[in-house]
Amino acid sequence: MAGAPTPYHPTALPQAVLSLVRQLQQVRDLAVAVLDSVSFSLLGEADAMMVLGMVEDLGRRVDAARVASAADISVRCRRILGQESLAYKNGAS
């Protein structure tokens, strides 16, 4: 994606990963605060349509990140990895 930040590599420094987690927490907190403050029924028709468009766009981006993250974890949890499997390391057998 143009303008997208450099993806985090599996060997990224712990500080970089913590920075990513902090950024995601801040984004989540901001989204929660903004969405909780909206009185959808009080919006005019045009405003309601604009808000819906923004919420749908945000949702699609979150869904894409959710799918990519889950797919990555699925690969790391493959049984063939044995004791190196993320599932094994987290107590699943």
Task: Return the domain boundaries, the chain.
Answer: 61-93
pLDDT of residue 12: 61
Could you read off the pLDDT of 17-76 as tens digits, one per residue? 889 999 999 999 999 999 999 999 999 999 999 999 999 999 999 999 999 999 999 999
pTM, full prediction: 0.73
Q: CA 48, 58, 44: angle at the middle one, nearest 5?
A: 5
**HSE of 78 in the Cβ direction (CA atoms, 13 Å)?**
6
Beta strands in 1-93 (DSSP E): none
Confidence class of residue 88 from pLDDT cuts 50, 70 and 90? very high
- Please tell me the distance from the alpha carbon of residue 51 to that of residue 63, in angstroms, as a whole number: 18
